[in-house]
Structure 1
């Protein structure tokens, strides 16, 4: 079974195509930043610009979309949303695949040049190009979603032991996919007018992942500046990769 790891790097992205407006002309004062530290470079993080970060495909309440309905099975709720997130993010990344090639992204990176590594079935870390990592991740997720023993579709069929661990891994891959689009391709995304879709998907994914402890704080920290603007809320309790939170076990009742 494959996996992934991420490591920081001092490497920065090279030149990226400009959007219709001159991105650097927008001042840093337009970024919402409640910290006393200096705002991050808008040249490096154009997705923080107020004109872009406020864009959504619709005025939706992601908290309402995330909340578990009364009487609804938690595992079923998480499973159905996992399938939906995969379909939407896979579609979005496919639509933007012309921008992410082995030429533009010989190594897949996230914020501050962080490198994401794929781990193969033998436990060997692989340094991948952007499109190769995405292909590995989407193929892995598709295989899991198609496995009746992991994501059962028949009424009354039980979810397997370790279900939460597998969903956490899926959410991590999906998070990396969106983080790479923000870091390496946001100017391209904005130029074709797809940043409202990216913002909406990212805000919903992070909100859902935090609510059900599917994303750890250490996973989302590199994008915390964007998260704080898109959907500010307290950081969740730390969890381990087995799906157990420091205060409440996720799998209770699954």
Structure 2
């Protein structure tokens, strides 16, 4: 039950082994929905709980590091991008495209590109070099075990679990449907095509119940699942920036990586996929990008979201 856009998706080739007796639920002090392995977590069922994985742990072993200006905030690296100017035009919801279709397409593409970047620095991200999933001095992400107790994992193990969890969600036809249905995105009733104040009865939502992606055949938990996936991808970005950015520089990939991250954040702002607290490990970088005007006119895409 999917779109023409989503039908072109490629499935990620990386298939790391699944963890046993560990749950990706919980996060930043919030509760989780329980469950073992990768069966729990955000969007796993209509009654699913919080998004996957544990939260930041202050006073962790990484807290002993000297607080210095991160390399990714230094010039000229922080001003290195492939795209000059605002990213607004590439995040706005296209007319006649269902919002669920647009979220699904972009979530997959961000995951695919982040997976590729991690593959580039993976040989440096080892249990010895990264004994915890650090996101800056004094901040570690933790995982919840089967008893919902936070546990520190080496960064490569944590990221392996995250990539597998996301891959499982994307490949779940009940969450990210790819089979064609009678629904098309190219209709005048598509929310992104409607003018402010237009009647919503054209959407076929006679019962008054609606959700992001309904028009495109996505389940009611789809938006929450996307938020859980986005939260985990941000944590991988944070670890790479804080721990492996020197390797990104060594391979002259900083412009590519910065551009991907700006696009990722701009899309999140447009569709409200990340909570303010999630951004804390890279808030200074995001503010720097904002000062450069990379998020300029981001409000131009919001009216479409407010109509829905």
Give the TM-score range, shorter chain: 0.7 to 0.9
SS at 2:58 equivalent? coil
Q: Is the 8 A contact 2:65 2:137 kept in 1?
A: no
SS at 2:143 equivalent? strand
Q: Distance in 1 between matches of 2:307 and 2:171?
A: 24
Q: Distance in 2 between matches of 1:175 and 1:106?
A: 19
After TM superposition, the score normalised by the length of structure 1 is 0.76
The residue number in structure 2 matching 1:74 is 99
**Compared with structure 1, are the counterparts of its residues 99 and 12 closer, same or farther at alpha carbon in structure 2 (3 Å cutoff)?**
farther
The residue number in structure 1 matching 2:273 is 214
State whether structure 2 residue 259 is matched by structure 1 residue 200: yes
The residue number in structure 2 matching 1:34 is none
Moved over 4 A (4+): 250-253
The residue number in structure 1 matching 2:144 is 119
The residue number in structure 2 matching 1:164 is 223
Q: Distance in 2 between matches of 1:193 and 1:58?
A: 16
Task: Map residues 66-215 of structure 1 onto 2, 5 A cutoff.
Answer: 66-120=91-145, 123-155=148-180, 156=183, 158-215=217-274
SS at 2:55 equivalent? strand
SS at 1:119 equivalent? strand
Q: Distance in 2 between matches of 1:132 and 1:116?
A: 12
Q: Distance in 2 between matches of 1:90 and 1:223?
A: 19
Q: Residue 13 of structure 1: CA displacement?
A: 7.0
- Structure showing greater Rg: 2
**Compared with structure 1, are the counterparts of its residues 251 and 145 closer, same or farther at alpha carbon in structure 2 (3 Å cutoff)?**
farther
SS at 1:111 equivalent? coil
Q: Is the 8 A contact 1:199 1:230 kept in 2?
A: no
**Compared with structure 1, are the counterparts of its residues 62 and 119 closer, same or farther at alpha carbon in structure 2 (3 Å cutoff)?**
farther
Q: Distance in 2 between matches of 1:50 and 1:133?
A: 31
Q: Distance in 1 between matches of 2:55 and 2:78?
A: 25
After TM superposition, the score normalised by the length of structure 2 is 0.63
Q: Any gaps of 5 or more consecutive residues in structure 1?
A: 16-39, 237-247
Comparing 200-209 with 185-194, which one deviates more in the overlay? Answer: 185-194
Q: Is the 8 A contact 2:134 2:239 kept in 1?
A: yes
2:90 to 65, 69, 79: 65
Q: Is the 8 A contact 1:6 1:114 kept in 2?
A: no
Q: Any gaps of 5 or more consecutive residues in structure 2?
A: 1-39, 42-51, 184-215
How many residue pairs are counted as aligned between the two chains?
Answer: 214
1:50 to 71, 75, 94: 75
Q: Distance in 1 between matches of 2:253 and 2:124?
A: 13
The residue number in structure 2 matching 1:7 is 56
Q: Residue 230 of structure 1: CA displacement?
A: 1.8
Q: Residue 194 of structure 1: CA displacement?
A: 1.7
**Compared with structure 1, are the counterparts of its residues 165 and 120 closer, same or farther at alpha carbon in structure 2 (3 Å cutoff)?**
farther
2:283 to 206, 213, 224: 224
Q: Is the 8 A contact 1:13 1:184 kept in 2?
A: no
Q: Distance in 1 between matches of 2:138 and 2:125?
A: 16
SS at 1:67 equivalent? coil
Q: Is the 8 A contact 1:108 1:129 kept in 2?
A: yes
